[in-house]
């Protein structure tokens, strides 16, 4: 999750929130790289150290795709030179391609691989499967604290799981069998 707030000055304060552990990094004009986070092709923002290592052929494919572009900083590198790179060097190149945008493929994202989950996704999935209304859960939360303005996804997940005796880790493991790819899971939880 990424948000950015602009002020009258040219500087802006940015915040990055890890979709897995909830870690928040913020600062003036902070980049994803400075926050030590990466973003996957499906828009998940995660801490760099939570990233899975990509198969070598995936990293090579991504770097070679970028080498086709005239602006690529890897222009002039031969396939032989590329093949001699270590996995660590390839990973660095993969992250810094596209001018340091720090984007990673599905293979490197634990959420896309159904190893970890974001509460946002899981809340949407549970709402679809178990039809517990968010308003109802929110009313319960407000009974404990009247000042609460919004229901957190994590609270919704906890409530539905306890009501139906579900274990989030088991649900996430079953999603891989059921949907195969994150894209299909995403389409399922977001269809009208």
- Chain residues binding Zn ion by CB under 5 A are 18, 20-21, 23, 40, 42, 44, 47, 50, 109, 111-112
Choice between 112 and 126, CB closer to Zn ion: 112
| Least distance in angstroms from the C-beta of 164 to Zn ion | 26
Choice between 13 and 42, CB closer to Zn ion: 42
**Dihedral of CA 41/45/51/52: which sign?**
negative
Choice between 44 and 120, CB closer to Zn ion: 44
Q: What is the residue whose two structure tokens read 């093949």?
A: 83
d(CA 106, CA 62) in angstroms, rounded, equals 12
Choice between 97 and 120, CB closer to Zn ion: 120
**Dihedral of CA 119/125/127/129: which sign?**
negative
CB 31 within 8 A of CB 2: no
| Least distance in angstroms from the C-beta of 45 to Zn ion | 9
Q: What is the three-state SS of 130-172?
A: HCCCHHHHHHHHHHHCCCCCCCCHHHHHHHHHHHHCCCHHHHH
| Least distance in angstroms from the C-beta of 43 to Zn ion | 7
| Least distance in angstroms from the C-beta of 181 to Zn ion | 11
Choice between 1 and 132, CB closer to Zn ion: 1
Cβ neighbours of residue 169 closer than 8 Å, sequence gap 6 or more: none
| Least distance in angstroms from the C-beta of 123 to Zn ion | 17
d(CA 51, CA 6) in angstroms, rounded, equals 29
Residues paired with 25 in a beta bridge: 16
| Least distance in angstroms from the C-beta of 22 to Zn ion | 7
Choice between 21 and 99, CB closer to Zn ion: 21
């Amino acid at each position: 999750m990424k948000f950015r707030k602009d002020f009258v000055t040219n500087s802006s304060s940015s915040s990055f929130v890890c979709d897995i552990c909830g870690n928040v990094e913020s600062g003036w004009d902070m980049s994803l790289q400075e926050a030590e986070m990466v973003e996957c092709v499906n828009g998940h923002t995660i801490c760099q150290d939570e990233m899975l290592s990509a198969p070598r052929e995936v990293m090579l494919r991504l770097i070679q795709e970028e080498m086709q572009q005239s602006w690529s900083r890897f222009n002039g590198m031969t396939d032989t030179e590329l093949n001699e790179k270590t996995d660590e060097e390839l990973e660095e190149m993969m992250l810094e391609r596209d001018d340091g945008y720090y984007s990673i493929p599905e293979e490197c994202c634990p959420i896309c691989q159904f190893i970890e989950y974001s509460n946002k996704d899981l809340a949407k999935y549970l709402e679809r499967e178990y039809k517990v209304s968010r308003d109802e859960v929110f009313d319960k939360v407000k009974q404990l604290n009247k000042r609460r303005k919004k229901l957190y996804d994590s609270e919704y997940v906890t409530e539905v799981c306890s009501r139906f005796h579900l274990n989030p880790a088991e649900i996430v493991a079953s999603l891989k069998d059921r949907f195969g790819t994150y894209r299909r899971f995403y389409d399922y939880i977001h269809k009208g």
